[in-house]
Structure 1
């Protein structure tokens, strides 16, 4: 058995090359670096073909008209994101006192998919708030929300 192991070991050593001989230095061919051809097509935003009147803005202005005499006592109006769980400064676009003279004002929404809600809160806590919803109307050139 020992002889068999020795024979196999010697065969492996001689099969792998082993031994010396004269070593000749291996010369490496110089690396060839090709520069890519200049790209004549524009990339990024410059590649877009956009009409000159398009301004890339997604925000738009909404004019709110709250009818006079909608409320006949002191109240407060919040206009906030429709899906917001809480009514606070982070989710509201308008927070303003409201009187029987009504209200007319404008505010900016960040994009056309935005839905908003208005809640009119009364200082008299025995009255329930009045709630309204509004969404962008693409058929209108100016976005107007009439609350009456």
Structure 2
């Protein structure tokens, strides 16, 4: 056991290497512009004052009154999501014959969404709808009727 310990220590010490006569390599210094007042990085961007760097999109949702005559539940989720859960859905709300008016936010403009209206009565098939960002509209809206 002592021999194994001595051999291990000797191996570790020789594995680390020695000082030798090699000269250390110094990494090149970062180069700076000759003009210290010149903006760098994102500060160098020229952006129109009306551009706010926001990518979120507000969507006004209107589910028509009397679309459903029984109690139901609506999920609005990412269209390509395999599972409907809190991570992929933007709206999860009860629905009745009075319809629904609300606004929600999607994270970017090329988002494609699906709405599924599920009935408490399982003998009624769910209703499915799709929505896609419309570049021609300044205010995004979705009417489900």
TM-score normalised by length of structure 1: 0.74
> CA RMSD of the aligned region, Å?
1.6
C-alpha separation in 1, matches of 2:138 and 2:108: 15
Partner in structure 2 of residue 133 of structure 1: 130
Give the one of 46, 57, 61 matched to 1:60: 57
C-alpha separation in 2, matches of 1:38 and 1:89: 51
Task: Please show how residues 1-148 of structure 1 align to structure 2 within 5 Å.
Answer: 37-148=34-145
Deviations 1:8-60 (A, max 9, x none): xxxxxxxxxxxxxxxxxxxxxxxxx9x96344431111111101110000001
Deviations 1:95-124 (A, max 9, x none): 000000000000000000111100000000
Q: Residue 59 of structure 2 aligns to a residue in which SS?
A: strand
Partner in structure 2 of residue 20 of structure 1: none
What is the count of residue pairs matched by the alignment? 115
Q: Which has the larger radius of gyration?
A: 1
- Give unmatched runs, 5+ long, in structure 2: 1-28
Shift of 1:94: 0.3
- Give unmatched runs, 5+ long, in structure 1: 1-32
TM-score normalised by length of structure 2: 0.75
C-alpha separation in 1, matches of 2:83 and 2:130: 16
